[in-house]
Amino acid sequence: MKYSVAFDLDGTLLDLPVNIESARAEIAAMFAEFGYHEPMRPILDAINRASASVATRDEEIYPLIIRARAILDKAEVLAAQSATPRPGAVEAIESLRRLGIPLGIVTNNSRACIVPALAALGYTTSDFVVSTRDEVRRPKPAPDGLIRVASKIAAADENMWYVGDSPVDVSAAVAANPQVAPSLRAIAIPGPRSSLQQLRAAGPCVFFDTIGEAVDHMVRS
């Protein structure tokens, strides 16, 4: 059976050592100037909440979001310069490329960090159909990015796999499945910031210990 495959980025294909606490503090300081002192967690949702809270007019919300996200973008670009592939990631990608499988990436990271991050893996944006938080209105766990990538790599009669290491990856796949024909199935592999229990709680998926085992399962299916 033909199929296509999309991957999460950070924690699945590579380790992106973002100094998230430094970025969180800088963003918090930005909104503190407006009298907003709520926690910046989770960071993307918190940016949206803070921007809507401090804006005096609707047209001010989006510029505030862009300003705050630029701080996060900068931290991610810096981290991408020292990113390292996850064990087995390059070998897994290459095995799928040799079979001619269409590949995508759906990530909540920024478009700005994609080029240096993929370079750490030895690839470019021409090797994947990529959807970042900048291309969608709602990042994961919303299904927007997966639906966007599926529309470009999954034929109407083909299944699609999504491989991720986080509960938000599983939740996004579950939400996207009804809109991806004939079906979108999640594969979860333990990452540096998630547990098997958390992944199971996020929704139905297949579990493997490594990305290599996940790809072997796809190839044999």
For 150-186, how does the pLDDT look when each residue is reduced to its tens digit (9 = 90+)?
A: 999 998 788 999 999 999 999 999 999 999 878 999 9
Q: How confident is the model at residue 205 (pLDDT cuts 50, 70, 90)?
A: confident
Tell which residue, 160, 166, 161, has the closest CA to residue 10. 166
Question: Taking residues 26-54, what's their average pLDDT?
Answer: 97
CA angle 173, 132, 57 (to 5 degrees): 105
Q: Is residue 1 pLDDT above 80, yes or no?
A: no
Question: Taking residues 18-37, what's their average pLDDT?
Answer: 98
For residues 177 and 193, give the distance between their C-alpha atoms in angstroms, rounded to a whole number: 25
Share of the chain above pLDDT 70, in %: 100
For residues 190 and 174, give the distance between their C-alpha atoms in angstroms, rounded to a whole number: 18
Ranking 12-21, 29-38, 178-187 by mean pLDDT, the lowest is 178-187
Question: Taking residues 76-105, what's their average pLDDT?
Answer: 97
* Whole-number pLDDT of residue 158: 86
What amino acid is encoded at 197 in this protein? Q
Question: Taking residues 64-91, what's their average pLDDT?
Answer: 97
